[in-house]
A and B are shown apart, each in its own frame.
Chain A
Amino acid sequence: AQKITQTQPGMFVQEKEAVTLDCTYDTSDPSYGLFWYKQPSSGEMIFLIYQGSYDQQNATEGRYSLNFQKARKSANLVISASQLGDSAMYFCAMREGEGQNFVFGPGTRLSVLP
């Protein structure tokens, strides 16, 4: 079974609008971490934001926030005030327990329109 599901292969958003990229996960471990990465066309993987399973509040980092709904096992990334430079692939990833194995989702390609 897929551990990380990203149901949107591609998304479009108008510049300056907000966009939500979906991520659902599957784990039976009560301790886990969720990560979002951005991969622009240049290819580098850029860490954006982290949410721990025991964190009480949703993570925020500048224009990025994570809409964490633990009961639904979802960890959607919200990008506010989209910029042209936000156009990229976005990957959701999970680390279970204190282990070191990361599982990545298939990614969502975001295109920001001028």
Chain B
Amino acid sequence: GAGVSQSPSNKVTEKGKDVELRCDPISGHTALYWYRQSLGQGLEFLIYFQGNSAPDKSGLPSDRFSAERTGGSVSTLTIQRTQQEDSAVYLCASSLYGGSQPQHFGDGTRLSIL
């Protein structure tokens, strides 16, 4: 079956431009997560969505970052007025609800800000 799909796999853009990163979770997974991982570092939690509940945005580093999840499925992470420190790999994961269900990760989007 299909796993978590992220696009684009790589994105290079100029400082100051807006970017949109897309995540298509595993069908039926109610929870969707976004993380950021800088080179050689751990995962930095950004935001997660659970069904129709209000998202937990507590990890978003600034108001330049926003995310939507339409129809409880596909999610878009938007970074406005990109800065060089936004360069990282952005990972998306999805999970069935609760208990022993692990997160399943996509391959990530490698974002480079010139």
- B43 A100 Cβ-Cβ under 8 A: no
Interface size class of A (residues with CB under 8 A): 20 to 34
Which residues on A sit within 8 Å (CB–CB) of B31? Answer: 100
Q: Are A43 and B100 neighbours in the complex by a CB distance under 8 Å?
A: no
Contacts A104-B42, A107-B42 given; does A43 touch B98 at CB 8 Å: no
A14 to chain B, nearest CB (A): 24
**A52 and B100 alpha carbons, distance in the complex (Å):** 7
- Count of chain B residues with Cβ under 8 Å from any Cβ of A? 24
* Neighbouring A residues of B102 by C-beta, 8 Å: 35, 37, 47, 50
**Which chain A residue lies CB-closest to B3?**
A44
Inter-chain CA distance A102–B97, complex, in Å, is 12
**Interface residue A98 (Cβ < 8 Å from any Cβ of B):** yes
A106 touches B33 (CB 8 A): no
* A92–B32 alpha-carbon span in the complex (Å): 19
Interface residues of A in 65-112 (CB under 8 A from B): 91, 93, 98, 100-107
Tell me the minimal C-beta distance from A105 to chain B in angstroms.
7
- B41: which A residues are within 8 A, CB to CB? 106
Find residues 16-55 in chain B having any chain A CB closer than 8 Å to their own CB.
31, 33, 35, 41-43, 45, 48, 50
Determine whether B91 belongs to the interface, using a CB cutoff of 8 Å to chain A. Answer: yes
Given A91-B42, A91-B43, A101-B56: A33 in contact with B104 (beta carbons within 8 A): no
- Contacts A44-B107, A50-B100; is A102 near B42 (CB within 8 Å)? no
Is B97 in contact with A100, judged by CB distance below 8 angstroms? yes
A11 at the interface (CB under 8 A from B): no
Considering the chains assembled together, what is the distance between the CA atoms of A100 and B50 in angstroms?
7
Further 18 A-B residue pairs, CB within 8 A, beyond A47-B102, A91-B43: A33-B99, A35-B102, A43-B107, A43-B108, A45-B103, A45-B105, A47-B103, A52-B100, A91-B42, A93-B103, A100-B48, A100-B50, A100-B95, A100-B97, A101-B45, A101-B48, A103-B45, A105-B42
